[in-house]
Amino acid sequence: MSGLDPKDTSADSVQVLIDGYRRMSPAEKLERVRALTLAVQALALSDVRRRYAAADERTQALHVASRWLDPGLMRRAFGWDPES
């Protein structure tokens, strides 16, 4: 198989998933990636809002960004230290 080896899914189910991806157009694949990225970002924002409920919207957005960006870049680009 193509490197996809989930431990909780049968080989037949994995093959159905792979076949489905192969039938998708590049635009459909890109849309799937975009939708999943937005879902991950929404989950991250939800977690940040729970953890930092008293923080203002900018600070919450910075906390979300800090999950993907290097701390040094966060300090240089935004003047904000995610480790403080």
pLDDT tens, position by position, 21-71:
999 999 999 999 999 999 999 999 999 999 999 999 999 999 999 999 999
pLDDT band of 2, cuts 50, 70, 90: low
Domain-located, residue 33? yes
State how many domains the chain has.
1
Contact of 32 with 24, CB cutoff 8 Å: yes
* Choice between 3 and 1, residue whose per-residue pLDDT is larger: 3
Domain-located, residue 84? no
What pLDDT was estimated at residue 7?
Answer: 77
Tell which phi-psi region holds residue 3, choosing left (phi > 0), alpha (psi between -120 and 50) or beta. left
pTM summary value: 0.73
Domain-located, residue 45? yes
Domain-located, residue 56? yes
Count of beta carbons in the 10 Å neighbourhood of residue 14: 15
Domain-located, residue 39? yes
Cα 40 off chain centre by: 4
Domain-located, residue 62? yes
Domain of residue 63: give its range. 11-78
